[in-house]
Amino acid sequence: MAEGRRGLGRGLSALLDEARAATTPEGREAAGAMDLPIEAIRRNPEQPRREFDAGALDELAESIRERGVIQPILVRPLPGMAGEYQIVAGERRWRAAQLAGLRAIPALVRDLDELAVMEIALIENIQRADLNALEEARGYVAMTKRFGRSAEAIAKIVGKSRSHVANTVRLTRLPAAVQDHLEAGRLTAGHARALLDLDEAPQIAARIIAQGLNVRQTEALVRHARDPKSGGRPRATAPRKKDADTRDLEDSLRDALGLNVDIRDVAGKGEVRISYQSLEQLDDLCARMLRGGPLKTA
């Protein structure tokens, strides 16, 4: 789990570890957890996770009836509302506790600002793999718009690569109908990425779902939509074998730039191809190169 928190600020990491450690009455007392009335706790409207599986909630509620809430939730005092709290992490446990009929739930109370609340909520959900790709993307966009966080900064916070963050954010550019399919689980993130910047995306999305196409079949369908003469087949290219060092360098450049990179080397000579999907990405790439600083490859 330590690797999953790569780059976390010390304060956020400590809060998450503290919440996980308080699993017994003695541990709760040591960590400062207390039982709070269920009705005094409010959900966070900025919570990145929007969908809660009813069946999974019922299972958790049954577990809570038998064993109680093992891990305290994390809350902060609601400004200007004495005795009321807002959930920072643990909304699923709070919902299940209500289903289980609990009147109080163990909680850690911490004073946190809006940025810390959003960061912790994202981190907890991503580490638990509870967010779908679109929820994750919206969380990243909110951090950028509200707090000016760059893709690089967000990547460090959540322990992901910059390219992962950038590519996930791109999903918010999909038409609303395609986003609905993605959020409902009818399409995967791989399907959705293939439909980016495609005028016929909603129609092709419906066909993917109706025919149960996999990602490779979807990519072929999209190639045909973009170039009907191709018949959905990838363009023929001469087979190339790349050594491990070249592949590693491509991966490092992809992480640093958030763009696809293809290195073609023959006897120490060749070319580097960087693919972009929008003028915004091209502008960002040019700005990085013109600054003249070394690329970050970590």
Residues with catalytic annotation?
91
In 3D, which of 189, 146, 142, 166 has the Cα closest to residue 256? 166
Strands 260-266 and 85-89: unpaired
Give, rounded to a whole angstrom, the gap between the first and last alpha carbons of the chain.
19
Q: What does the alpha-carbon distance between residue 73 and residue 87 come to, in Å, rounded to a whole number?
A: 7
Give burial (CB, 10 Å; 0-12/13-18/19+) of 147.
Answer: middle
Q: Note whether 74 and 89 are within 8 A (CB).
A: yes
How many other CB atoms are there within 10 angstroms of residue 154's CB atom? 25
Sheet holding 104-109: strands in order across? Answer: 34-37, 104-109, 73-77, 85-89, 41-42
Provide the β-strand partners of residue 74. Answer: 89, 108
Q: How far is CA 291 from CA 4, 163, 285, in A?
A: 31, 20, 10
Q: What does the alpha-carbon distance between residue 287 and residue 298 come to, in Å, rounded to a whole number?
A: 20
Give burial (CB, 10 Å; 0-12/13-18/19+) of 9.
Answer: middle
Q: What does the alpha-carbon distance between residue 218 and residue 92 come to, in Å, rounded to a whole number?
A: 34
Number of residues that make up the chain: 298
Residue recorded with tokens 């918010």? 172
Rama region for 118: left / alpha / beta (φ>0; ψ in -120 to 50; rest): alpha
